């Protein structure tokens, strides 16, 4: 008897913008795996029912995107340490009929940087702009990587303070948003996690004058691929890493768990994800 096709999906609301089907679809084809990955629009009030029905519908798991990542925590049967720490689930694996939630954004962020740069070259001092969900994953990733000094600066300072308090680690400092330009003086790594610079959003107002030219600069935004921040940083000689790689790398653990093969993030995959619908 042939093995049944393995099924996975991304659940979001809305979900049509998600690039995950294209990404997983590419790998399924490339590795010649009999499986499928679809986008399913699920309204928040239907999230629990939909997630709980996944095992009986034959799904091996799913990804979660906005606005479901936080709400999913309460629906999982098991949650791994990273998802618990981040307070968000983006990958669900069905194991023995149970829903196991994890968060691969931390992994995706770090793997993207490591694919392009040797982190030990960047002095282990970082400045994070923003204090939302993405900043939480980035902060946790940098703490795990052993960064010794991490500055968070956010328009709403109380949010940055809450984030620092959540991790309760003396390597974290909070700096007022009005002092963000000067805070760059110590940075070996600068990460933008705000929505500023995203297509259709206001620009990020930030002077790079104090930033050492040997600092690495990355943006979690990948639309546009080269954000104005990355453009300016690159023009003054900083090495830059765009945010698309984070999306690609965060997909790896889910694909491996659902389809049984660890896929590679290659230039061809990048091109495919960028080409269609950029
Ligand atoms: P995500 O979960 O994707 O990180 P979010 O929680 O909405 O999204 O966070 C967006 C980030 O962009 C926040 O740090 C937000 O700052 P506030 O906490 O002050 O809202 C930041 N941001 C959005 N618009 C901004 C603006 N016009 N100026 C400065 N920061 C902005």
219-266 pLDDT tens trace: 999 999 999 999 999 999 999 999 999 999 999 999 999 999 999 999
Residue 114: which of 158, 144, 91 has the closest Cα? Answer: 144
Q: Which one is catalytic: 6, 7, 69, 125? A: 69
Tokens of 27: 């790998």
Candidates 153, 194, 204, 250: which one to mutate for ligand 1, based on the most atoms within 8 Å of Cβ?
194
Q: What number is the average pLDDT over the span 100-106?
A: 97
Q: How confident is the model at residue 4 (pLDDT cuts 50, 70, 90)?
A: low
CA of 119 to the centre of ligand 1 (A): 26
Residue 277 has pLDDT above 60, yes or no: no
Ligand 1 binding pocket includes 132 (Cβ within 6 Å): yes
Residue 1 has pLDDT above 90, yes or no: no
CA of 233 to the centre of ligand 1 (A): 21
Ligand 1 binding pocket includes 243 (Cβ within 6 Å): no
Q: C-alpha angle 197/202/208, rounded to 5°?
A: 55
Ligand 1 binding pocket includes 84 (Cβ within 6 Å): no
d(CA 165, CA 130): 15
d(CA 246, CA 166): 23
Ligand 1 binding pocket includes 95 (Cβ within 6 Å): no
User: What pLDDT is attached to residue 278?
Assistant: 47
42-72 pLDDT tens trace: 999 999 999 999 999 999 999 999 999 999 9
User: Residues of 67-78 as b/e, b for ≥16 C-beta within 10 angstroms?
Assistant: ebbeebbebbee
Q: What number is the average pLDDT over the span 159-174?
A: 97
Active site residue 69: yes
Ligand 1 binding pocket includes 220 (Cβ within 6 Å): no
Residues 6+ apart with CB under 8 A from 272: 22, 26
Beta-bridge mates of residue 216: 189, 239
Ligand 1 binding pocket includes 162 (Cβ within 6 Å): no
177-234 pLDDT tens trace: 999 999 999 999 999 999 999 999 999 999 999 999 999 999 999 999 999 999 999 9
CA of 229 to the centre of ligand 1 (A): 16
């Amino acid at each position: 008897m042939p093995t049944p096709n393995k099924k996975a999906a991304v659940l979001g609301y809305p979900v049509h913008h998600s690039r995950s089907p294209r990404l997983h679809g590419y790998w399924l084809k490339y590795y010649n795996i009999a499986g499928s990955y679809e986008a399913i629009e699920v309204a928040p009030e239907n999230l629990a029912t939909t997630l709980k029905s996944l095992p009986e519908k034959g799904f091996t798991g799913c990804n979660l995107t906005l606005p479901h990542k936080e709400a999913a925590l309460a629906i999982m049967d098991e949650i791994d340490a990273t998802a618990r720490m981040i307070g968000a689930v983006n990958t669900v694996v069905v194991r023995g009929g149970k829903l196991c939630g994890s968060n691969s954004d931390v992994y995706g962020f770090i793997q993207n940087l490591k694919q392009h740069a040797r982190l030990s070259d960047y002095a282990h001092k970082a400045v994070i702009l923003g204090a939302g969900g993405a900043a939480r994953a980035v902060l946790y990733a940098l703490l795990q990587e052993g960064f010794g000094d991490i500055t968070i600066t956010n328009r709403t300072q109380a949010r940055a303070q809450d984030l620092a308090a959540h991790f309760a680690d003396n390597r974290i400092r909070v700096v007022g948003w009005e002092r963000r330009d000067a805070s760059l003086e110590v940075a070996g790594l600068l990460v933008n996690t705000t929505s500023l610079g995203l297509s259709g959003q206001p620009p990020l107002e930030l002077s790079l004058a104090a930033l050492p030219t040997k600092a690495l600069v990355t943006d979690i935004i990948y639309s546009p691929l080269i954000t104005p921040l990355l453009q300016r940083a690159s023009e003054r000689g900083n090495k830059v890493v765009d945010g698309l790689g984070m999306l690609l790398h965060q997909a790896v653990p889910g694909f491996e768990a659902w389809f049984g093969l660890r896929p590679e993030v290659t230039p061809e995959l990048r091109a495919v994800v960028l080409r269609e619908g950029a």
